[in-house]
Amino acid sequence: MSNEPGPEKSSGKKAPEPSGVDLARVALRAAKEAARARGDAAQQKKQARRGGLRSGAGADGRDPMAFGAAINRLITERGWETPAAVGGVMGRWPQIVGEDVAKHCEPEKYDEDERVLVVRCDSTAWATNLRLLAPTLVARLNEDLGHGAVRMIKVHGPAGPARRYGPLRAPGSTGPGDTYG
């Protein structure tokens, strides 16, 4: 981590500085939108000279589009490429980490700002094992998603049972949570 001041968010956390790939994606998206806007403006001028918008045999922006194409366009326009790719990784988790690990560990969430994948394991032994495998998994995920998409994997152990407070609780005991985590 550098000590250079970076852009601050309202929550007080530093926003990650965009890498070269992210900057290139943003520039490409802006250029495509500008070109599309220029093309739409020229098309509207041409149609206005001909007497307004007309329906015809040729394709225009009002035509229906395939669902997959609409989703891909929405993902690109909104800049959701990385979250969508990470969602795909969560769906392919058993193929990425292997069947044995996938039986005991599952991804919970992805923090796009911090680029952290949170994984929950069903036992502390598997959590320790996954912590040891984390650097290898980060490298494998970055090969699949693109460099820097995942910086760190946070591994959580099992969640203990709900704590019950009542008259039969021993004073000073932390309850069944003593054996978890």
Asked whether the beta carbons of 74 and 85 are under 8 A apart, the reply is no
Give whole-number Cα distances, 104 to 6, 57, 134, 149, 156, in Å: 38, 56, 15, 24, 12
Rounded to whole angstroms, the Cα distance separating 80 from 28 reads 14
Amino acid 102: pLDDT? 87
Best mean pLDDT range from 1-5, 21-25, 52-56 = 21-25
Amino acid 132: pLDDT? 92
Asked whether the beta carbons of 140 and 176 are under 8 A apart, the reply is no
Beta bridge partners of 105: 121
Confidence of residue 39 (pLDDT cuts 50, 70, 90): confident
Asked whether the beta carbons of 15 and 8 are under 8 A apart, the reply is yes
Kindly tell me the sign of the dihedral angle through the C-alpha atoms of 167, 170, 173, 178.
negative
Amino acid 180: pLDDT? 53
The answer to whether the predicted template modeling score (pTM) of the entire model surpasses 0.85 is no
Assigned token pair, 70: 């609409």
Q: At what angle do helices 124-145 and 81-91 cross, to 10 degrees?
A: 130
Confidence of residue 38 (pLDDT cuts 50, 70, 90): confident
Altogether, the residues listed in the chain come to a count of 181
Half-sphere exposure of 83 (CA within 13 A, CB side): 12
pLDDT, the chain, mean: 75
Ordered DSSP codes for 4-63: S--PBPTTSPBPPPP-HHHHHHHHHHHHHHHHHHHHHHHHHHHHHHTTS----SS--TTS
Angle at 43 between CA 47 and CA 69, to 5 degrees: 120
